[in-house]
Structure 1
Amino acid sequence: MMYVIAGILGVIFGSFLNVVIWRVPRGKSLVRPGSACPKCGANVLPRDNVPIVSWLLLRGACRACKAPISARYPLVEAGTAAAFVVVVLLFPHDPWAWPAWWYFAAIGIALAMIDLDVKRLPSVIILPSYVVGGVLISLAIALGPTSLADGARATIGMASLWALYALLATLKPGGMGWGDVRLAGVLGGYLGWLGVGSLVVGAFAAFLLGAVWSVGLMLLRGATRKSRVPFGPWMIVGSAVGVVWGESLWQAYLSLIV
């Protein structure tokens, strides 16, 4: 039952994330006006605003002008639902932690999509996440099985990953954006909450996956070292790797060198 509830919540949040992804980079309100077709301006009817289902029934086109509706809308909704279910799978005995990780998943999906679209990570999403994430993690520690030591480790993770990215941005201006630096602090807090292994693996995976993607672009699409490649999505994917497999990979690595 909790998997079903988590999936439904994820679909609902995913629908809202589509609004965030479109409107926040353009400086538009998330509340007004209501959803409308960007081509003909026709208001989206309530029956056409049901996550995933409406897109399928409309066959991916506007009811009024038949303009195509991107498949990314239902994919974001389905992806958010899947992420919410995965949170329950990863932390089955700590429901107090679910809201914190659902928030982590939601902002991760939104920021990754925005960075892919406009190559920018909006501070209006990242900066409040320090407060919201901190409150949710603190509540999980106070009410759940985790300890104050986990909270201290989260603070250290936040500071250390922020400092690492700030150093890289300072040493090579233009190579690392300050939006990446601000995001690193949020991700570091969550990864540090889980453990040192999650923090190290999550940070390393971001650079590894980003490097592999960049090399692939150079080989297959003619990109150069000066081509702008958004790094935010790889920071988020790398953090997901750290959350899911970080501790086990870290322990396997330690067993090889000790």
Structure 2
Amino acid sequence: MSLNVLLVVFAGVFGLLVGSFSNVLIWRLPRGENIAFPPSHCPHCDHALAPKDLVPLGSWLALGGKCRSCRAPIKARYPVVEALTGLGYAVIAALFPFTVYGAAPLGLMVLFTLLLVGSAIDLDTYTIPDELTLPGVALGLLFALVGVRGAAEALPTFAGAVQGALLGAGLLVAIDLFGSWVLRRFRERQYPDLPIGYQQIALGLLAGAWLGPWGGLAVALVSAGVNAVARRVVRIPELLTLGGFLASVAVASSGVGPGLIGAVQGGLAGAGAASLVAGLYWWWAHRARREDDAADDGAYDPSAMGFGDVKLAAVIGAFLGWQNLLLAVVVAVFAGAVFGLVQAAMKRGNRVKFGPYLALGAVVALLWGQQIIGSYRAMLGL
């Protein structure tokens, strides 16, 4: 047996073990529980699970899908997650051999787990926890920073990872900003966030079109600082920010300033940078007041897209780069549209969980992105 084949087998077994831990994350993260303590137990009778109850796939099959103690049914999702993780890790190890790509396949395996866990939680709760996405962005940047031989073909450079994370968050949040504006019939937000929120992100979009991503972030932070000092939201009309961005793109397309591509990329990256800073602040603020139910009155403006999707796109961009991120979004939109038509035909609910589609697109980009993008370039003669 060759070394590469042995590593594929090892990766598959390792994936089964990681899949078992992934089930812990899927259950505990949405509930705000500690992922390490108490040890694994039955959610029905709290019976502590013995090592023989924790064998990936084997324990579920041996027990007939029921708890050893209370005989309550165990969801089939548990072995499915374990099997998918084992299969995914083995495929990654086969397509990106460790002997060629060094540590890069480990980064792709981490991304696969983040996508699978985030999708499962989104299917259950319509949310993707910050504890998964924000550290995920950092991990993507870290793997790009320490990438070793051959990794450039599997993972982006550090600069590419930063660009991918910013453009990923920026693209999704721009869709959210303009979609929400339309849903509100172009009226201003009733519940702007203090000190930083969508108004500052929209300002980063506008400023980034002319000043680049870091200039856009700087302007957004200045606005947040003004809000903090004033202890109130100093409103910035969306007609100025969102309308101004559209006008800026139109002006730039005529050759003024950074040009069309530069304005769009700078604006999206500026909005993405402001989004990640806002996400970090909201995560910290939420954790600080988690026990104060009165701090959240449930008042929100209509939203075209969940902010968890914005951060998940940043994770994908950080691990795979902006080109694969765009491919992932295209696949996600297509898959979502097809499934939406199926739902409509079956007269089912029309609420769309975009996270799983985005994860599906990312897996397609992860496994076949290089070939698809290469074929597309060849078709265009690039």
> Normalised by the size of structure 1, how large is the TM-score?
0.91
Aligned 8 A contact 1:191 1:202 in 2? no
Q: 1:131, 1:252 → 2: CA distance?
A: 31
Is there any run of 5+ residues in structure 1 with no aligned partner, and where? none
Instruction: Tell me, yes or no, if structure 1 residue 8 matches structure 2 residue 13.
Output: yes
Picking from 279, 304, 307, the partner of 1:178 is 307
- Highest RCO, 1 vs 2 (Cα 8 Å, sep ≥ 6): 2
Instruction: Tell me, yes or no, if structure 1 residue 100 matches structure 2 residue 107.
Output: yes
Aligned 8 A contact 1:199 1:246 in 2? no
Picking from 292, 302, 316, the partner of 1:187 is 316
Aligned 8 A contact 1:100 1:136 in 2? yes
Cα distance per residue 1:117-143 (max 9 Å; x no partner): 101011111111121221122212xx2
What corresponds to 2:337 in structure 1?
211
1:78-227 aligned at under 5 Å gives the runs 78-92=83-97, 93-140=100-147, 143-146=148-151, 150-173=157-180, 174-192=303-321, 196=323, 198-223=324-349, 227=350
Q: 1:50, 1:214 → 2: CA distance?
A: 37
Secondary structure of 1:16's match?
Answer: helix
Q: 2:355, 2:315 → 1: CA distance?
A: 12
Aligned 8 A contact 1:13 1:77 in 2? yes
Q: 1:238, 1:149 → 2: CA distance?
A: 18
Cα distance per residue 1:190-245 (max 9 Å; x no partner): 221xx73x33322211111111111111111333xxx3221101111001111222
Q: 1:149, 1:168 → 2: CA distance?
A: 25
Is there any run of 5+ residues in structure 2 with no aligned partner, and where? 1-5, 181-302
Q: 1:46, 1:138 → 2: CA distance?
A: 37
Report how far residue 149 of structure 1 moved: 7.3
Q: 1:254, 1:82 → 2: CA distance?
A: 30
What corresponds to 1:243 in structure 2?
366
Q: 2:16, 2:308 → 1: CA distance?
A: 27
Cα distance per residue 1:58-90 (max 9 Å; x no partner): 111111121111111111011101111111112
Q: Which amino acid aligns with 2:312?
A: L
Cα distance per residue 1:34-71 (max 9 Å; x no partner): 22222222222221111111111111111112111111
Report how far residue 145 of structure 1 moved: 2.5
Instruction: Tell me, yes or no, if structure 1 residue 29 matches structure 2 residue 34.
Output: yes
Secondary structure of 2:325's match?
Answer: helix
Equivalences, count: 250
Q: 1:247 to 1:234 in 2, by over 3 A?
A: same
What corresponds to 2:82 in structure 1?
77
Q: How high is the sequence identity, in percent, across the aligned residues?
A: 35
Q: Aligned-residue CA RMSD in angstroms?
A: 1.8
Aligned 8 A contact 2:141 2:158 in 1? no
Report how far residue 107 of structure 1 moved: 0.8
What corresponds to 2:225 in structure 1?
none
> Normalised by the size of structure 2, how large is the TM-score?
0.62
